[in-house]
Amino acid sequence: MDKVLEVKDLELKFVTRRGVFHALNGVNLELYKGEVLGVAGESGSGKSTLMLAIGGLLPSNAWVTRGEIVYMSKNIIQELVKEGDTKYVKKRNEKALKKLNEKLQSIRGSKISTVFQDPMTALNPVLQVGYQIAEAVYYHNPSVLARRILARYKATKDDMREILSILKNKEDYNEKLLKFIKGKNLEGLEEQVLFIWERNDLHDIKKEKLILSLAGEKVPRTALPFLYKIARSNKLERTPILSRFIKRILIKEGYRKAVEILSILKVPNPEKVVYMYPHELSGGMRQRVAIAIGLINNPEIVLLDEPTTALDVTVQAQVLDLVRSIRNKYSSSFIFVSHDLSVLYEVSDRIAIMYAGKVVEVGSKDEIVSKPLHPYTQSLLRAVPSIESEKISPIPGEVPDLRNLPKGCMFHPRCPYAMDICKNQEPPMYNLENGHKVACFLYGEKK
């Protein structure tokens, strides 16, 4: 399997007025193509910080002291780590982060996108839902929108009739359609046609009518050359006034694309929903909109940061089913963060357990749940009440203070099996069979 992303020995601190918080202390993690990786941990375990680092959304007081995040065989946080850097210099760090931010602009949102926990705060309350989805495409992939408009402008009724005859011919219409559209130079039309054709709540006559009406779109003549330019270069027009004029046209197209993605995400009445504001939607709908923004650019990696925590159980169940269905539709890899192991068990292939800024155990979900190795994972599983459980045993003590971490293994003060070596040495990651990894001396060579 191909690795899409690799985090190597990442160490990150937050410098605040109340002290230096050791948020990540040497995280190692791999994400393979097409998988859903679950990341579990309590608050303060660093799971959200890790997502911010991968998503390129670090705040200005984040101080990366070591490690790499490798995406497409390039270390994307190279600028932040300097050899022999032992002192935190505020100005220099902020400058490096700012530079990194600019560099990541092309990756963030289009190649790696994030869906946040609380959709009420993640969405802008004064903008229509459709606008917010459209904006994500407009800034990252304006060529997609320009091509869609131009395809409708160029297509004639006869082209459409031919497309309809291909579609009606049931057998492998997908390939034939693509070939036809490529031949006619109408890229951008296929997704619009297929979206209408594959709806099953419409009568064929209505579908035909809708598909025929796609042809011969009227586009203002002044805009045409610019649309061609954007379609070719995927860069936005920078001329004043004119750029706003083009933006209006492209955003309007973005609304159409938003309707398509919302209906894939099973939002009822997407045509109306795109003109609504976030406060008019229920919690589940808002979360679907946030997911739509995350998926619209077909990113390679989608980071889902506690996407179901703010939702009710029945709605959570719907969103979990949705995540399972979109992973088949999109070729993306997902990282799903949650504090709830049973939620992760439902959606992910592998689960990583984090404790005090370190990944302490990684393995397939079945191994983690049925054969947990790390003492923390074991105690965590025993502490979760379930419908069947008659007894739960809490983990003694509290999550360690991130400003003042215990020496050696971070878990040793709460660990029932703590040995002398645990108090002084940090356990390395031991590779066991089936890709199961655990950071605990119990599984090392006998000493």
Partner 1 sequence: MMIAGYNITKQYVSGGMFSTNKAVVKAVQGVNIKIKEKETVGLVGESGSGKTTLARLLIGLEEVTEGTILFNISDGELNEYEEALKKGDEGVIKRIEGMYDITKIPRSRLRKLRRYMSIVFQDPYSSLDPRMTVIDIIKEPMIATGYLSGEEANKRVLELLEKVGLPKWFAYRYPHELSGGQRQRVAIARALSTNPKFIALDEPTSALDVSTQAQILNLLKSLQRDEGLSYLLITHNISVASYLSDRMYVMYAGKLVEVGEREQVIKNPKHPYTIVLMSAVPKLGKIMQRVPVKGEPPNLVNLPTGCHFHPRCPYAFEYCGWNAVEVAEDLKYLLEGKYYDIGGEKIKVDVLSELKIRVEGLGYQDLEKIIKNEIEAVMSFKSIDSIKKESENAVSIELKEYITPKLYQLDDGRLVSCLLYDEKFINRK
Binding to partner 1 by residue 389, rule CB under 8 A?
yes
The binder of partner 1 chosen from 202, 236, 405, 421 (CB under 8 A): 202
- Within 358-377, which residues bind partner 1 (CB under 8 A)? 366, 369-370
- Beta bridge mates, 352: 39, 362
Return d(Cα 320, Cα 311) in angstroms, integer: 11
Binding to partner 1 by residue 328, rule CB under 8 A?
no
- How many chain residues touch partner 1 (CB under 8 A)? 48
Q: For the CA atoms of 387, 392, 397, 403, what is the dihedral angle to 10 degrees? A: -20
The binder of partner 1 chosen from 221, 385, 416, 433 (CB under 8 A): 385
Minimum distance of partner 1 from residue 143's CB (angstroms)? 32
Return d(Cα 285, Cα 268) in angstroms, integer: 9
Minimum distance of partner 1 from residue 381's CB (angstroms)? 7
- Measured from the CB atom, the residue of 95 and 209 that comes closer to partner 1 is 209
What x-and-dash track marks residues 23-52 binding partner 1 by CB under 8 A? -------------------xx---------
Q: Please give the C-alpha separations between residue 326 and each of 297, 306, 310, 323, in angstroms, as whole numbers.
A: 14, 17, 20, 5
For partner 1, which stretch binds (CB under 8 A), given 9-17, 183-191, 290-298, 310-318? 310-318
Q: Which is it for strands 112-115 and 62-71: parallel, antiparallel or unpaired?
A: unpaired
Fill in the DSSP letter of residue 408: S
For partner 1, which stretch binds (CB under 8 A), given 29-37, 70-78, 386-394, 404-412? 386-394
The binder of partner 1 chosen from 117, 141, 192, 316 (CB under 8 A): 316
For partner 1, which stretch binds (CB under 8 A), given 130-138, 159-167, 256-264, 381-389? 381-389
Return d(Cα 278, Cα 119) in angstroms, integer: 9
Residue for token pair 């497409």? 72
Are residues 163 and 177 in contact, defined by beta-carbon separation less than 8 angstroms? Answer: yes
Binding to partner 1 by residue 86, rule CB under 8 A?
no
Binding to partner 1 by residue 386, rule CB under 8 A?
yes
For partner 1, which stretch binds (CB under 8 A), given 65-73, 126-134, 234-242, 308-316? 308-316
Return d(Cα 252, Cα 263) in angstroms, integer: 17
- Within 262-301, which residues bind partner 1 (CB under 8 A)? 282-285
Are residues 242 and 265 in contact, defined by beta-carbon separation less than 8 angstroms? Answer: no
SS3 for 69? strand
- Beta bridge mates, 7: 29, 69
For partner 1, which stretch binds (CB under 8 A), given 173-181, 297-305, 312-320, 402-410? 312-320
Binding to partner 1 by residue 399, rule CB under 8 A?
yes
Minimum distance of partner 1 from residue 425's CB (angstroms)? 24
Minimum distance of partner 1 from residue 414's CB (angstroms)? 8
The binder of partner 1 chosen from 126, 387, 433, 445 (CB under 8 A): 387
Phi first, then psi, for residue 304 (nearest 5°) are: -105, 105
- Measured from the CB atom, the residue of 81 and 369 that comes closer to partner 1 is 369
**Secondary-structure breakdown of the chain: helix, strand, coil percentages, each rounded to the nearest 5:** 45, 15, 35
∠ CA 229-231-234, rounded to 5°? 90
Q: Please give the C-alpha separations between residue 34 and each of 40, 293, 394, in angstroms, as whole numbers.
A: 19, 19, 36
Residue type, 96: A
Binding to partner 1 by residue 416, rule CB under 8 A?
no
- Measured from the CB atom, the residue of 71 and 376 that comes closer to partner 1 is 376
Are residues 263 and 192 in contact, defined by beta-carbon separation less than 8 angstroms? Answer: no
Neighbours of 225 (CB within 10 A): 9
Minimum distance of partner 1 from residue 63's CB (angstroms)? 25
- Measured from the CB atom, the residue of 231 and 440 that comes closer to partner 1 is 440
| 304 sits in which H/E element | strand 301-305
Minimum distance of partner 1 from residue 258's CB (angstroms)? 20
- Measured from the CB atom, the residue of 240 and 268 that comes closer to partner 1 is 268
- Measured from the CB atom, the residue of 3 and 168 that comes closer to partner 1 is 168
- Measured from the CB atom, the residue of 384 and 432 that comes closer to partner 1 is 384
Alpha helices in 185-307 (DSSP H): 189-197, 204-214, 224-233, 242-264, 270-273, 283-295
**Site residues (vs partner 1, CB under 8 A):** 42-43, 199, 201-206, 209, 282-285, 312-318, 320-321, 339-343, 345-346, 366, 369-370, 379-381, 383-387, 389, 392-395, 398-399
